């Protein structure tokens, strides 16, 4: 019996222990669920806060972008107004001219017993037609077509509108005739302002006008001094397809045909230049032969010159400054062999003649220094060869 009670007591104790454990587990589960809900609420609140911050930042960025765009537009408008003040005032003046002109035309037509709607349409026809033709002319000009007929049409229509306004003003304000002129001008002034705006700034500059004037003077002088070549140039241009040969190329080709030389030169000019070089060479030869006398004369001229500051160096004044032997000649004397015999000099005479011709072609004198440099010989031998070269040239000239 006691065993049963003990067992019973033990079972109840086990049941109470199990109940306590179940209760503990339930409490722990409830606590975990509550903690999970709390964590979820915290995460939701954090996400909401972050979303609100992101939305706030996006809104601020959008507002900043709008402000920046507005500031950029204002700055752009300011720059445009600063760079185009004339356009702004032209637009203002055009509106101030067009509106009174239209009102005057409507008043003139209604005063002539024309119905108001028809008067408005007719007035719009005159002013609208003038401006339609004006803008068509601007479009044609931008496309590279001739806008003359559009400009003529614009001024013709504007003149008719001006006549209507003038007539109306003359009748309406008879005691003040000047008002008629103002009303008539209101139909023309807007067109005039627009014409100045679109064409006045396209005129030629002062430099361009001067260049055109110089070009015309150049063409006139060319026709005066070279009529045959100009005629030949025109023939060449006419023989070829249009635009293949411009004026300058045609004239250059015609010059070569007539003279055989480059433009600006001719056989006569070449002959004149050659004679001048020969004369200069002869003068240098004479100067080299009478060097001492020329030096003395140069020094005396320098001493007696009342304008000392304008006096030249005596050696240059006598025309023999360039006859001094250069380093190459000195080197040639040092490196050349001993003095040559008369037979050796006679053998070098053809080479000396060739060297002398080269000196003359270079515009230099036939000097001993020049021959010594060309032939690589001593100056003493070059002096003798120079005398023989001059003698040979005189014999050929005679």
pLDDT, one tens digit per residue, over 275-313 is: 777 776 666 655 555 555 555 555 555 554 444 444 444
Q: Which residue has better confidence, 228 or 10?
A: 228
The span from the CA of 334 to the CA of 379, in Å, is 10
Helices and strands counted in the chain (H then E)? 15, 0
Mean pLDDT rounded to a whole number for the chain? 78
Q: Are 190 and 94 in contact (CB under 8 A)?
A: yes
State the pLDDT confidence band at 323, using cuts at 50, 70 and 90: very low
DSSP annotation of 246 = -
Instruction: Give whichever of 4-13, 17-26, 216-225, 342-351 has the largest mean pLDDT.
Output: 216-225
Among 160, 184, 169, which residue's Cα sits nearest to residue 108?
169
Residues 24-53 pLDDT 10s? 888 888 888 888 888 888 888 888 889 989
State the pLDDT confidence band at 6, using cuts at 50, 70 and 90: confident
Q: How far is CA 66 from the centre of its chain?
A: 39
Instruction: Give whichever of 116-130, 193-207, 357-371 has the largest mean pLDDT.
Output: 116-130
The span from the CA of 374 to the CA of 361, in Å, is 13
DSSP annotation of 376 = T
DSSP annotation of 177 = T
State the pLDDT confidence band at 141, using cuts at 50, 70 and 90: confident
Cut 0.95: pTM above it: no
């Amino acid at each position: 019996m006691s065993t049963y009670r003990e067992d019973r007591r033990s079972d109840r104790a086990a049941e109470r222990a199990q109940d306590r454990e179940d209760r503990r587990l339930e409490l722990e589960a409830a606590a975990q669920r509550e903690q999970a809900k709390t964590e979820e609420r915290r995460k939701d609140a954090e996400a909401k806060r972050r979303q609100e911050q992101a939305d706030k930042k996006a809104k601020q960025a959008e507002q900043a972008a709008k402000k920046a765009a507005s500031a950029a537009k204002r700055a752009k408008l300011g720059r445009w107004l600063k760079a185009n003040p004339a356009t702004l005032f032209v637009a203002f003046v055009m509106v101030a001219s067009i509106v009174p002109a239209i009102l005057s035309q409507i008043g003139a037509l209604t005063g002539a017993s024309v119905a108001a709607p028809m008067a408005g349409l007719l007035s719009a026809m005159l002013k609208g037609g003038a401006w339609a033709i004006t803008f068509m002319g601007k479009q044609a000009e931008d496309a590279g077509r001739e806008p003359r007929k559009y400009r003529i049409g614009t001024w013709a229509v504007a003149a008719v509108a001006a006549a209507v306004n003038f007539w109306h003003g003359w009748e309406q304000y008879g005691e003040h005739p000047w008002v008629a002129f103002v009303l008539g001008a209101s139909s023309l002034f807007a067109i005039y302002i627009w014409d100045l705006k679109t064409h006045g700034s396209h005129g030629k500059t002062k430099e361009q006008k001067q260049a055109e004037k110089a070009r015309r003077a150049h063409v006139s002088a060319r026709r005066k001094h070279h009529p045959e070549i100009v005629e030949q140039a025109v023939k060449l241009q006419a023989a070829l397809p249009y635009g293949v040969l411009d004026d300058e190329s045609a004239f250059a080709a015609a010059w070569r045909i007539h003279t055989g030389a480059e433009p600006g030169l001719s056989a006569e000019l070449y002959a004149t230049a050659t004679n001048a070089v020969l004369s200069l060479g002869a003068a240098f030869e004479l100067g080299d032969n009478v060097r001492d006398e020329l030096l003395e004369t140069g020094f005396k001229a320098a001493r007696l010159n009342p304008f000392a500051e304008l006096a030249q160096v005596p050696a240059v004044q006598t025309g023999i400054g360039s006859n001094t032997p250069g380093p190459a000649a000195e080197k040639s004397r040092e490196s050349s062999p001993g003095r040559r015999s008369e037979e050796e000099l006679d053998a070098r005479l053809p080479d000396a003649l060739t060297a002398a011709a080269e000196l003359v072609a270079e515009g230099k004198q036939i000097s001993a220094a020049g021959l010594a440099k060309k032939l690589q010989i001593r100056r003493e031998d070059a002096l003798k060869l120079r005398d023989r070269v001059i003698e040979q040239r005189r014999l050929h000239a005679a």
